[in-house]
Amino acid sequence: MAKGYWVSVYPAISGPERLTAYDKLAGAAVQAGGGRVLSVGGRVVAHEAGITQRVVLIEFDSFEQAVAAYESEAYQKALVALPDSFERDFRIVEGVERDFRIIGGVY
């Protein structure tokens, strides 16, 4: 079964301390949903159209588990605590189960 990942990128953050309530609620929801935080706000080297602001990467044992954790009551409460002024690009992506090979020169 392919793993699932939450990928969050914050293009603009003003006052990161305002994320405290969200971080606390979201952390508990992620843990309850079986997620593991792989990266949160560490060093970033951006290429192409990338940005160097806060990036969060969370791993789940399956794509379905990642979707269920997002849809959970606990995480929905965390979203209410996310300040309106924060811009965020959030995605749930499915990992690959097999050896990844470049197909047609694109990956």
Q: What is the pLDDT of residues 55-104, one digit of tens each?
A: 899 999 999 999 999 999 999 999 998 887 778 899 999 998 766 666 65
Question: What's the pLDDT score for residue 20?
Answer: 86
Contacts of residue 44, Cβ cutoff 8 Å, sequence gap at least 6: 50, 51, 52, 53, 55
Q: What is the pTM of this model?
A: 0.84
Alpha helices by DSSP H, listed for the chain, are 20-32, 63-71, 73-81
* Residue 106 within a domain: no
Distance separating alpha carbons of residues 107 and 74, to the nearest angstrom:
35
* Residue 100 within a domain: no
- Helical axes 73-81 vs 20-32, angle rounded to 10°: 170
Q: How many domains does the chain have?
A: 1
* Partners of 60 in the β-ladder: 4
* Residue 42 within a domain: yes
* Residue 52 within a domain: yes
Q: Which of 4-8, 22-26, 71-75 has the lowest average pLDDT?
A: 22-26
* Residue 24 within a domain: yes
* Residue 38 within a domain: yes
Question: What's the pLDDT score for residue 86?
Answer: 78
Contacts of residue 40, Cβ cutoff 8 Å, sequence gap at least 6: 54, 55, 56, 57
Count, residues in the chain:
107
* Residue 18 within a domain: yes
> The domain spanning residue 83 has which CATH number?
3.30.70.100
Strand, coil or helix: 61:
coil
Domain range for residue 32?
Answer: 4-94
Strand, coil or helix: 56:
strand
